[in-house]
Every structure is written in C-alpha cells, then in structure tokens.
C-alpha cells in the first residue's frame, strides 16, 4: 500500500471526521430528544446533549398567594411555566413537563422558603425513564407488542434455520437433477418483494387460523430467509470437507454425533449470519405486521402506529425507538464477529 503525503493525510482526516460527524450528530440529537422533558422538547435551538437535572426559579406572589415557577433553559433564560398554589397541580405539572417526580407536599415544603427569602433557584434530578414510561402508557399494549416482537423473531429464526440449513446441506452435498433451477428459484424467492406476498398471504393465514398470530407473521418473514439461509449455509457446507466427517465416523462417532461435534460448529458462522438476517427481517418490519395482524402488533408496528404522522410529543416516540434500536444493535454487533467471516465469501 502506498503512503499518503501530508496534504492527502489532512484530506483523509477531514473526510473521516465528516463521516463520523454525519453518523454521530443525528444520533446525539436523537438521544437528547429521547431524554428531553416536555418543555425541553420544544426548545429552540436544540443542543446535542441532554441534561440530567431541571433548574427552576420559584417566586412567591403575595397578592395571589401563588408560586410562580420559571424554568431555566439551556441558554440560561427563564421561561414562565406555571403559577399555582396547589401541591397536586404543581406535582402533576412537574411530572408532565419537567419529568421530575416529586409529591405536592415535598414541592410546597421546598418552596416555603421563598415566602421569606424571596425568589430561589431549585435544581431537581429528572426521572430519565419518564419518556419510556409514557411511551408504554400512550401506546396501548406496547408491552404486549414487545413480547410479540421477541416471539416472532424466535419463530422466524427457528423456521428459517431449520428449513434453510436442511436445503443448504442438500444443495452443497448431493448431486441431483434440477439443482440449478432450484438455486435460481431460491434467489427469486429471496428477492421477491414481501409486500406483494403479504396481502394474499392474509387470505391463506385466515384459512389456517393463523391470522393475527406470531406464527403467521413468522411464516411470512421466513420466506426470504429460508432462501437466504440455504444460500449462505450451502456455501459453508461446501467448504467443510467431507473427509472430516468421514474420519469422525471411522473413529466411532455415529452420524448424529458427527453432525453435532463436527459439522455444526464449523457451520456456526453461517448460522449466526443467517440468524442475524432473520432477526433483522422480523424485528424491523412494519408493513407486513400492519397487513397480517390486527390486535397483536409487533413493537416496530406499535412505535409506527403511536407516532403516525403527528409531530407533537416526539420525545415519547424517540424513547420508544430506543427500545426498538437497542436489541437490534446488540444482536448485530454480537453476531458481527461471525458475520465478518462471512462477508469475505458471500456477497450480500
């Protein structure tokens, strides 16, 4: 590899920083949004960092016997928020707009001091989980949806890995007629748009009594993934030498033991990669879930439905998305080390 000269080095560094900024800036603002309270979310201009605390200035208004609460925003200005003397009202307001959980009595006793000492600043810790709690509250059956997502991912991986690796093994190890046609057919299935299948599939699933169930949904998600799995696994099985299996048989292992101890471990990267794709299909999809479920949405669908196309309370939507992102991120990066071995040989 040739070396860079200094000018090229600088350009290289600039480009790479631009890439990092382009990736990280949206994510940082997004995180900041997800942890914003009901007031911060409407602040402008926004900052890419979220605060852990809320600072309010409280003033006692003698003529009306009320507390005037002003919130200090990130640029240090005070925004008038609420005037009230009722502990309950203050407490509700603090929860809803500041994500601060504090009972009415606590707040009133905190503010008592302003009667004698004049306006005071108070700093409270935000409850960082407030938006997540609210997401589950405003999205009906979101917890059910989370469970559904996990179940459907599980079924999809099971179905696609079993059927896919069986046909992958057949494609790799045996010679038979129509092998080429089958391989082309598998590719067509893999590329065929899932949307085109989901609407008519609904008719069939209703007939099998599988409509609005996770099995039904997993059946759809497995369609491209069985093909993909057999594609990936066959390429790995070809690489595993037959002699190794035969040697194991000669040394007295039966064919089941051979499969478990020799073939399977060597096929692990392929299975890991396939299960990653199966996971991502099932976890990320919204459109098929929209078509094939009724009362049992998956999490991605629940987030989508909760947001629809409105632009208010985006902090709850952002919190919901974090719940959606984390498993996919963890799964992708755990499996990545196996997939890296795959990327070398399979172009996907």
Closest CB 67 distance from another protein, rounded Å: 28
Q: Is 46 in the site for another protein (CB under 8 A)?
A: yes
Residue 167, interface with another protein (CB under 8 A)?
A: yes
> Which one of residues 14, 23, 61, 260 is an interface residue with another protein (CB under 8 A)?
23
Looking at the Cβ atoms of 118 and 252, the one nearer to another protein is 252
Query: Strands, E, within the chain: which ranges?
Result: 53-61, 66-72, 78-84, 120-125
What is the total count of residues that contact another protein (CB under 8 A)? 100
Note whether 166 binds another protein by CB under 8 A: yes
> Does 345 contact another protein by CB under 8 A?
yes
Q: Which of 98, 111, 277, 304 binds another protein (CB under 8 A)?
A: 304
Own/partner contacts of 237-243, CB < 8 Å, gap of 24 or more, are 237/168, 237/169, 237/171, 237/172, 237/173, 237/263, 237/267, 237/270, 238/172, 239/345, 240/266, 240/267, 242/173
* Candidate list 14, 42, 53, 140; residue touching another protein; CB under 8 A: 42
Cβ(228)–Cβ(277) below 8 Å: yes
* Burial class of residue 62 (count of CB atoms within 10 Å of its CB; 0-12, 13-18, 19+): exposed
Binding status of residue 344 toward another protein by CB under 8 A: yes
Tokens of 19: 């890439």
Which span sits near another protein by CB under 8 A: 49-57, 117-125, 127-135, 327-335? 327-335
Q: Which residues of 12-27 are buried (b: 16+ CB within 10 A; e: fewer)?
A: eeeeeeeeeeeeeeee
Q: What's the closest the beta carbon of residue 265 comes to another protein, in angstroms?
A: 19
Output DSSP code: residue 107: H
CB of 171 to another protein, least distance (A): 7
303 lies in the binding site for another protein (CB under 8 A): yes
Contact 303, 290 (CB under 8 A): no
Q: Does 169 bind another protein (CB under 8 A)?
A: yes
Instruction: Show contacts with another protein in window 205-224 (CB under 8 A).
Output: 219-220, 222-223
Is residue 138 close enough to count as binding another protein by CB under 8 A? no
Is 189 one of the binding residues for another protein (CB under 8 A)? yes
Examine residue 228 and tell whether it contacts another protein (CB under 8 A): no
Q: Which two tokens stand for residue 155?
A: 């079924």
Residue (of 126, 129, 104) closest to 40 by Cα position: 126
């Amino acid at each position: 590899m040739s070396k860079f000269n200094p000018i090229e080095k600088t350009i290289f560094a600039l480009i790479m920083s631009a890439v990092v900024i382009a990736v990280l800036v949206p994510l940082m603002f997004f995180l900041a949004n997800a942890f914003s309270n009901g007031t911060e979310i409407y602040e402008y201009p926004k900052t890419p960092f979220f605060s852990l605390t809320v600072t309010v200035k409280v003033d006692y208004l003698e003529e009306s016997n009320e507390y005037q609460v002003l919130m200090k925003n990130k640029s240090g200005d005070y925004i008038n928020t609420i005037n009230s003397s009722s502990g309950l009202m203050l407490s509700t307001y603090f929860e809803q707009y500041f994500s601060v959980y504090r009972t009415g009595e606590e707040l009133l006793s905190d503010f008592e001091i302003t009667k004698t000492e004049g306006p005071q600043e108070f700093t409270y810790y935000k409850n960082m989980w407030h938006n997540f709690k609210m997401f589950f509250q405003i999205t009906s059956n979101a917890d059910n949806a989370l469970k559904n997502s996990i179940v459907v991912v599980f079924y999809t991986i099971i179905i696609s890995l079993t059927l896919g690796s069986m046909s992958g093994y057949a494609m790799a190890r045996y010679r038979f007629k129509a092998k080429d046609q089958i391989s082309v057919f598998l590719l067509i299935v893999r590329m065929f748009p899932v949307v085109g299948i989901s609407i008519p599939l609904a008719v069939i699933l209703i007939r099998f009594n599988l409509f609005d169930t996770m099995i039904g949904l997993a059946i759809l998600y497995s369609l491209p993934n069985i093909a993909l799995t057999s594609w990936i696994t066959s390429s790995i099985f070809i690489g595993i030498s037959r002699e190794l299996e035969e040697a194991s048989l000669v040394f007295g292992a039966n064919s089941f033991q051979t499969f478990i101890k020799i073939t399977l471990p060597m096929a692990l990267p392929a299975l890991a990669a396939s299960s990653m794709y199966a996971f991502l299909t099932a976890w990320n999809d919204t459109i098929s879930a929209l078509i094939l479920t009724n009362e049992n949405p998956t999490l991605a669908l629940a987030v989508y439905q909760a947001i629809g196309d409105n632009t208010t309370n985006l902090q709850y939507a952002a919190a919901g998305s974090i719940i959606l992102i984390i498993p996919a991120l963890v799964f992708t990066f755990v499996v990545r080390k196996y997939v890296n071995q795959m990327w070398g040989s399979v172009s996907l």
